[in-house]
Amino acid sequence: MTFVAANVDYRNFLPEPPGECRDPDLFRLLNEFHFVRWHADYGDRRDEIRVQLKTESILSRAELAVKDPYERLRQYAGELLIWVRRENAAPYILALLNDETEFVRGETAGMLSQVRCDPCVARLIELARTDSSPFVRGCAASGLGGQNPVKSIPVLIEILDNDHEACDSGRTPSGCAATALDEMMETEWTQKRFDAGLRGLNPDGTDLTALREQSLLFLGHCQQRDEGK
């Protein structure tokens, strides 16, 4: 994250898109939003950009940007379409889940932890099980945490038990699956929840056996619920 004094124009420090980028103005807007949304000093500008990002003209450009040569813009575009819960966005999200770069596949998969996208579940499962990158497999496990529990939990338990390969940051798909199950059930096996949405690692460590058992109980409850509909 870039830190800039409040009295300095932060835009002078934001990176410019490379020449291959087909929509540099969209990249600049999305990149600026990524900066200001984490800084309390720029709350007014953050709110202005949020309104702009929800306009039809910007969303239509984001749909085109999922095929941009610049991978960072592709990732930003997918994030925007997921964030605004863009109607009929699934084909664009699926395109990014099939992206040639690990970065875009993984980042897009991970963003789905917050938004259910039924057409994307099969691809998330495929990525979680078979992608060559442990980073992507872990992100896909995270994404499955936001999907239908009946479809996701069996796969997450499978990953929890078997996939312990670490990516460059040290994260493992198994660890991501544990956190995804914890988030899905709103339990505290992997992390404690505090006020204002803050979280911290469980100081007692993660009881994987208990997590697995509770996940299976939760799966049974969800299956009964669905059968009763």
Task: List 78's β-bridge partners, or say none.
Answer: none
94: in domain? no
Is 155 a member of any domain?
yes
Between the alpha carbon of residue 75 and those of residues 10, 106, 205, the distances in Å are 22, 9, 33
> Does 228 share its domain with 120?
yes
Give the start-end residues of each E strand in 53-127. none
Residues 6+ apart with CB under 8 A from 99: 71, 74, 105, 108
How many C-beta atoms lie closer than 10 Å to residue 98's C-beta? Answer: 13
Boundaries of domain holding 190: 116-194+202-229
Asked if residue 133 and residue 209 are part of one domain, the reply reads yes
As a whole number of angstroms, the distance between CA 25 and CA 225 comes to 47
Task: Report the pLDDT value the prediction gives residue 201, as an integer from 0 to 100.
Answer: 65
Print pLDDT tens along the chain (229 aa).
Answer: 444 555 568 888 899 999 999 999 999 999 999 999 888 888 899 999 999 999 999 999 999 999 999 999 999 999 999 998 877 899 999 999 999 999 999 999 999 999 999 999 999 999 999 999 999 999 999 999 999 999 999 999 999 999 999 999 999 999 999 999 999 999 988 877 666 555 566 666 778 999 999 999 999 999 999 887 6
155 and 221 fall within a common domain: yes
**Residue 179 and residue 145 in contact, taking contact as beta carbons nearer than 8 Å:** yes
Please give the model's pTM, rounded to 2 decimal places: 0.88
Domains held by the chain: number: 2
